[in-house]
Amino acid sequence: MKRIYMDYAATTPTHPDVVKAMKPYFADMFGNPSSIHSFGRESKEAIEQARDKVANLVGARNEEIVFTSGGTESDNFAIKGVADANKKKGSHIITSAIEHHAVIEPCKFLETQGFKVTYLPVDEYGMVNPGDVKKAITDKTILISIMHANNEIGTIEPIEEIGKIASEKGIYFHTDAVQTAGHIPINLKELPVDLLSMSAHKLYGPKGVGALYIRKGVQIVSFMHGGDQEHRRRASTENVPGIVGFGKAAEIAKSEVEEERKRLTVLRDKLIKNILQIENTRLNGHPSLRLPNNVNVSVEFIEGESMLLNLDLMGIAGSTGSACTSSALEPSHVLLALGLSPEVAHASLRLTLGSETTAGDVDYVLEVLPGIVKKLRLMSPLYKKK
Ligand code: PLP
């Protein structure tokens, strides 16, 4: 059976050129980058070349990129590291109700350590209001963390405006760009952002490697203590093949980002337009300010999980939300924050597109989905009561 992958927000396949670039660093060029002999030097050189490529993807300087084990570590590093380094200045953090757990959980942890966190609400499209950010600032605020785009609903947040507000007040601004780096252009030469998280596996790189951009001068404490790697910001022997792969993926993404964005937007819009033809469906997230590859709809009176299983039987891989929480039965905190009832939140389906998605795949989904919805609604007690 034909298999169609539409869960690119969960992870992407590693690009064949990325695999090729990584391969020599497993066995032939295995040196420890901290060693001073030639084996070590060639690994070190590979890391620095990768750092240049990742920096170039987002318009940063090479020395402002610290490699990590992924998006989660980058978020934790940014939030806990800035909080710890600046606790004498203040103990208040502003974030939003729809952040990824990799931001929400470190914030919750900091609340147990005496910090105060404001979780800003969002509007019906999942948009944070910069005016609310401004109002929430106190003389104790040391950090604002608002994601660049939401992983579930695809809404792109007004980070430029929020960053300006933060910078005018002398408050650090962190953004989780795990879903945007490599998918929409980012230029940190112009964007007022102090810290930015990325993850390689969301942009056709390998899993288990990410980066945190730390603007020069930001006061931050490391939480991995040990050796002097990454300019003493992140101890532990570097994941050389992973970092090399991330570099290659960043280089490819930089050259393809514009074209791919246009191509995917057309496919996304076709999917959305046609799915919304099915009665009692609604689009979750912003209609236009959304990731080029994100479709998130609620198909009322049906459980998202049943839709997923039925789509899977037809070879289509989608999701109901974030992969990290898809085993939880709780409705998504993101969809609830939009004001959806738990029932409508449970009825969500997320299809995220990527490099292998073709117009034929979109047609196939549109051919199969209405039948699945019809079948499940006939079985749904909620639908019968309607
Ligand atoms: N932040 C966002 C917005 C994400 O979508 C994800 C992954 O789903 C993460 C952080 C965590 O990234 P990683 O899987 O690399 O730890």
Question: Is 151's C-beta closer than 6 angstroms to any atom of ligand 1?
Answer: yes
Q: What's the rounded Cα separation, in Å, for the pair 337 and 330?
A: 13
Question: Is 102's C-beta closer than 6 angstroms to any atom of ligand 1?
Answer: yes
Give CATH for domain 16-252: 3.40.640.10
- 75 CA: nearest ligand 1 atom: 10
Give residue 278 CA to ligand 1 midpoint distance, Å: 31
**How much of the chain exceeds pLDDT 90, in percent?**
94
**DSSP label at residue 291:** -
- The predicted model gives 223-244 an average pLDDT of 96
Q: What's the rounded Cα separation, in Å, for the pair 375 and 38?
A: 64
Give residue 198 CA to ligand 1 midpoint distance, Å: 8
Please, which residues have CB within 8 angstroms of residue 202's CB and are 6 or more apart in sequence?
8, 9, 11, 12, 71, 178, 179, 181, 182, 183
Place of tokens 């979109």: 362
Give residue 204 CA to ligand 1 midpoint distance, Å: 14
Per-residue pLDDT at 385:
65
pLDDT category, 327, cuts 50, 70, 90?
A: low
Residue with CA nearest ligand 1 atom 13: 71
Question: Is 352's C-beta closer than 6 angstroms to any atom of ligand 1?
Answer: no
- 11 CA: nearest ligand 1 atom: 8
- The predicted model gives 17-40 an average pLDDT of 98
Question: Is 178's C-beta closer than 6 angstroms to any atom of ligand 1?
Answer: yes
Nearest CA-CA partner of 99 in 90, 91, 108: 108
Q: Do domains 4-12+257-385 and 16-252 have the same CATH topology?
A: no
Question: Is 299's C-beta closer than 6 angstroms to any atom of ligand 1?
Answer: no
Choose between 312 and 380: higher pLDDT: 312
Question: Is 100's C-beta closer than 6 angstroms to any atom of ligand 1?
Answer: yes
What are the pLDDT digits (tens) for 296-308? Answer: 999 999 999 999 9
What are the pLDDT digits (tens) for 43-90? Answer: 999 999 999 999 999 999 999 999 999 999 999 999 999 999 999 999
Q: Among 11-15, 149-153, 207-211, 341-345, whose mean pLDDT is lowest?
A: 341-345
Q: What are the residue numbers of the active site?
A: 324
Give CATH for domain 4-12+257-385: 3.90.1150.10
Give, to the nearest 10 degrees, the angle between helix 359-379 and helix 304-313.
Answer: 130
Give residue 106 CA to ligand 1 midpoint distance, Å: 14
Q: Which residues pair with 104 in a beta bridge?
A: none
- The predicted model gives 326-340 an average pLDDT of 84
Q: In this structure, are residues 47 and 33 in contact, taking their beta carbons and an 8 Å threshold?
A: yes
Q: How many CB atoms lie within 10 A of CB 262?
A: 10
Structure tokens at 242: 């992973």
Give residue 102 CA to ligand 1 midpoint distance, Å: 7
Q: What's the rounded Cα separation, in Å, for the pair 95 and 361?
A: 37
Structure tokens at 75: 């978020």
Annotated domain spans of the chain: 4-12+257-385, 16-252
Q: What's the rounded Cα separation, in Å, for the pair 161 and 157?
A: 9
Question: Is 176's C-beta closer than 6 angstroms to any atom of ligand 1?
Answer: yes
Measure Cα distances from 127 to 41, 291, 369 in Å: 47, 13, 29
Please, which residues have CB within 8 angstroms of residue 379's CB and are 6 or more apart in sequence?
none
pTM: 0.97
SS3 (DSSP) at 234? coil
Give residue 362 CA to ligand 1 midpoint distance, Å: 26
- The predicted model gives 9-34 an average pLDDT of 98
- Which of 7, 152, 157, 324 for a ligand 1 pocket mutation test, highest count of atoms within 8 Å of Cβ? 324
Question: Is 163's C-beta closer than 6 angstroms to any atom of ligand 1?
Answer: no
Per-residue pLDDT at 193:
98
